[in-house]
Amino acid sequence: MKLTPQNIVRHELVGLSTHIVESKDPNHVCKKGVILSESKEMIQISTERGTISVPKGICVFDMTLPDDTVVRIDGGLLRGRPEDRMKKRLNRSW
């Protein structure tokens, strides 16, 4: 399945470029890099200054798709194990 803005929440995120545009923790805002891995509650991002772990639920991410489309995603939609998230039924209103 091709990665699109409509199905990104149900897709694998590893390897995508991301930029944190909002966070309840001000230390995470404006961090950007490539997603290395993800777990139920965290995303690991490789930045210029090293690897950081960011909680999904408190951040809003801008993710760049392979076709250079930028999609803004509320991290709350990404919570859960990646393999379970791919099976989850989503409300299309986001």
Q: What is the pTM of this model?
A: 0.84
pLDDT digits (tens, 9 = 90+) for 39-57: 999 999 999 999 999 999 9
Predicted pLDDT at 90: 52
Confidence of residue 93 (pLDDT cuts 50, 70, 90): very low
Q: The domain 8-83 belongs to what CATH superfamily?
A: Ribonuclease P/MRP, subunit p29 (2.30.30.210)
Among 54, 56, 53, which Cα is nearest to 82's?
A: 56
CA gap 7, 48 in Å, rounded: 28
pLDDT digits (tens, 9 = 90+) for 4-33: 888 888 888 999 999 999 999 999 999 999
